Structure 1
Amino acid sequence: MNLVSPGVVTPEPVTSDGVIAAGVYVEGRRVANIAIDEAASWRNKPDHVVWIGLHEPETALLKSLQRQFELHDLAIEDADHAHQRPKIEQYGDALFIVARTAQLDGESIAFGETHLFVGEGYLVSVRHGASTSYTPVRERCESCPRALARGEDYILYAILDFIVDNYSPVIETIQDEVEAMEAEVLASAMTRAQIERLYLLRRDLMRLRNAVGPLVEVCRRLERDNLPMIRPTMRPLFRDVTDHVRTIQEQIDSLREVLAFAFEASLLVGQAQETAISKKLASWLAIVAVPTAIAGIYGMNFKNMPELQWEYGYFAVIGAIVAICTLLFWRFRRSGWL
């Protein structure tokens, strides 16, 4: 255990077993960095809050946490196995919350999970997969001791708000790409690569919506239900997170609709181009058919064809061909087919 004064904080230990940070706070100020096996003794002290951050911990570490905070077996099992649906569960006077995180990994969205244990005198966050470190959350909370002094439910709000805020860069990046794709669609038909990219974007947006959607219910329960450790004064803050989640959800739905319209517009543009090509081909075929037909008639070598003996027959036939072809070309050009 490292005791520190309220004004000086020693560097957070980063261990190989998954512990990112473990600190004790009194009136919003960190007073100690602790080991996991010391958590229970600090948590039981009046007005002390233990805040532990883990990243992909081993099963033994989770079992140790369970002993320290008397966590439920089902909650520990869920925290040990990722790929859980966002949810909130109440086990006695403790809460277990699952939230999905998202961040860009190249051109696709990588998803992770955060499991939160909240009870009297403690909050434990467990991160799995793609997830931004919560160190900025801890630093922001520590920079405002008055807010952090509110307790465990304020830390819970700060983490959930941070998770939801991190959806925005993903949405904004995809929105920029969608707008560029939409502009290209109106200029020309989409290529196969663009269609494949459009499909991948719609798939990622659907997965993101499935990750974001259940958070509405989680935040709604934190806002309205009389859950342990959630004070009435914190409900407006959770209401703000709920509104933010709904805004993200609306943006996702809007982007999916734009991508659907872009695909439909691409089909219409492609059909229009095919129609224009078909009109041009039909027009030229009609023009070429005139000399072909006339040449075919006079190429049958019948003996009794008066025009063959006429002195000006050749010039008359050529003139007729040119006149008819010119008339057809003019009509097709006027109709917009050529």
Structure 2
Amino acid sequence: MYESLNYASEKLGLPPGSLIHVGNVHTIETKMTIVDYSKEEVEEKHIESVDEILKYKESDTMTLVIIEGLSNVDIVEKIGSMFDIHQLVLEDVLNTHQRPKFEEYDNYLYIVLKCLLSEDEEFTVNYEQISLLILKNFVFIFKEKIDDIFQPVIQRIKTTKSRFRDAQSDYLAYAILDTIVDQNFILIDDLDDVITSIEDDLLNSESTINTLNMIQKIKREIIHIRKNTSPLREVMASMLRSDSDLIQEKTHIYLRDVSDHAIRITESIESYRDILSGLLDIYISSVSNKMNEVMKVLTVFASIFIPLTFLAGIYGMNFEYMPELKWHWAYPTLWIVFITITVVSLVYFKKKKWL
């Protein structure tokens, strides 16, 4: 992974709308893909220049343009000039630290949100910002990484009887949003597996300091997940309230479905956060119980050996005149006292169930 040197601090003092990529550079290469389709045919191809998009601008067909990799600022700037996109919107596209949001303009709509993917068994979450520009016959996707997350959408477009063939750009945008939001369900399943594993370790008394570290790591991840998923409800609600001609009434039912998914995801995240808080309490209780067991053992030994040490200390003193030292049965008597104290102590702790 390449680290970008263009952090937000470098934009200080620059005028609004200055186009600088802010965030990690996941790929130096910028990949551009066009999927142009109508009811009769579909064309998919990779392009090398933004100018190749021009021939689709005046067409009646629907065109999906996927830009993967944001390090090349010139590409974003040319698209903005070609389709009269506001500089502040282009600035938001290049700033990968945006909060999920929906903005409505005269001739286009702008949506930005995060795609969340878990990578390994330790639940490392990767965050990718995805920006959508929705025009009358165009939908632009701006992504940080090169991957095949939208391959199912492209495959649905290629299906002859697909609903895409008759629908407008709002339905295509819905399908893209649905794909991104549904990725969160996979994340939730992975999160459930990790939390179940932690819970099993705690209940089986196999918890270690690694368990505590894992709980703390998952709690931090949940904070970030919640930060990037909870605004989805607001985004979908704003789309449903929009009066834009680009969102048709018949698409609302599909947007409500995505909104429902977003609510379910948020509720799941909240429930898992509560579960983790409970697991942390269980871990603390488990550690306390183990400490109590250790203290019980130490108490048993201390209770037995303190009186024995006391007697041994008395008769170990170097005084010349001690009455019991000259007794014939003094030594075995002392051993009988030692054994009696030990047996009485063991019986007592046995009744207390400390042994």
Shift of 1:38: 5.3
Alignment-derived partner of residue 23 in structure 1: 35
Correspondence 1:52 to 2:54: no
CA drift at 1:157: 0.5
Q: What SS class does the counterpart of residue 126 from structure 1 fall into?
A: strand
C-alpha change, 1:76 and 1:316, in structure 2 (3 Å) is same
Asked whether the equivalents of residues 111 and 131 of structure 1 are also in contact (C-alpha less than 8 Å), the reply is: no
Counterpart CA distance in 1 for 2:154 and 2:275 is 38
Amino acid corresponding to residue 55 of structure 1 in structure 2 = E
Code of the aligned partner of 2:131: H
- Contact preservation (8 Å) 2:212, 2:283: no
TM-score by length of 1: 0.86
CA contact (8 A) 1:28 1:150 kept: no
Say which of 128, 141, 148 aligns to 1:112. Answer: 128
Structure 1 residue 206: Cα displacement: 1.4
Deviation at 1:41, TM superposition (A): 5.2
Corresponding letter in the other structure for 1:53: I
Gap change, CA 1:67 and 1:295, over 3 Å in 2: closer
Could you say what secondary structure the match of 1:261 adopts? helix
1:261 matches 2:278: yes
CA offsets 1:28-67 (integer angstroms, 9 cap, x no match): 7426868743545534344x22221111242222222223
After superposition, the C-alpha distances for 1:2-35 in whole angstroms (9 at most, x for unaligned) are xxxxxxxxxxxxxx97343213322374268687
Letter in 2 for 1:137: V
Partner of 1:200: 217
Counterpart amino acid of residue 189 in structure 2: E
Kindly report which structure 2 residues correspond to 1:238-317, keeping only aligned pairs within 5 A, or say none.
238-300=255-317, 305-317=322-334
SS at match of 2:247: coil
What residue number does 2:10 align with? Answer: none
What one-letter code is carried by the residue in structure 2 that aligns with 1:56?
G
Q: Where does the alignment leave 5 or more consecutive residues of structure 1 unmatched?
A: 1-15
Number of residue pairs matched?
A: 322
The superposition leaves residues 222-250 of structure 1 with CA deviations (integer Å, 9 ceiling, x where unpaired) of: 22332331111111111111111111122
1:91 matched to 2:99: no
Measure how far apart 1:211 and its partner are.
1.1
Residue 289 and residue 42 in structure 1: after superposition, are their counterparts in 2 closer, same or farther (change >3 A)?
closer
For residue 79 of structure 2, give the secondary structure of its aligned residue in structure 1: helix
Contact 2:215 2:276 (C-alpha < 8 Å) held by counterparts: yes
- C-alpha deviation, 1:132, in angstroms: 4.5
> Secondary structure of 2:290's partner?
helix
Q: Distance in 2 between matches of 1:82 and 1:285?
A: 63
Sequence identity (%): 25
What is aligned with 2:8?
A: none
Letter in 1 for 2:78: S
Aligned mates of 2:149, 2:276 — CA distance in 1: 32
What is the match of residue 75 of structure 1?
89
Q: In structure 2, what is the equivalent of residue 136 of structure 1? A: 152
Q: Compare 22-31 and 196-205 and name the one that shifted more.
A: 22-31
* CA distance in 2 between partners of 1:131 and 1:31 (Å): 20
Structure 2 equivalent of residue 9 of structure 1 = none
Task: State the Cα RMSD in Å.
Answer: 2.5
Structure 2 segments unaligned to the other structure (5+ residues):
1-27
Matched, 1:103 2:117: yes
CA distance in 2, matches of 1:287, 1:19: 77
1:224 and 1:235 in contact (8 A); partners too:
no
| 1:180 corresponds to which of 197, 200, 216 | 197
Contact 1:157 1:237 in 2 (8 A): yes
Contact kept, 8 Å, 2:80 with 2:86, in 1: the verdict is yes
2: CA distance between counterparts of 1:256 and 1:206?
A: 8
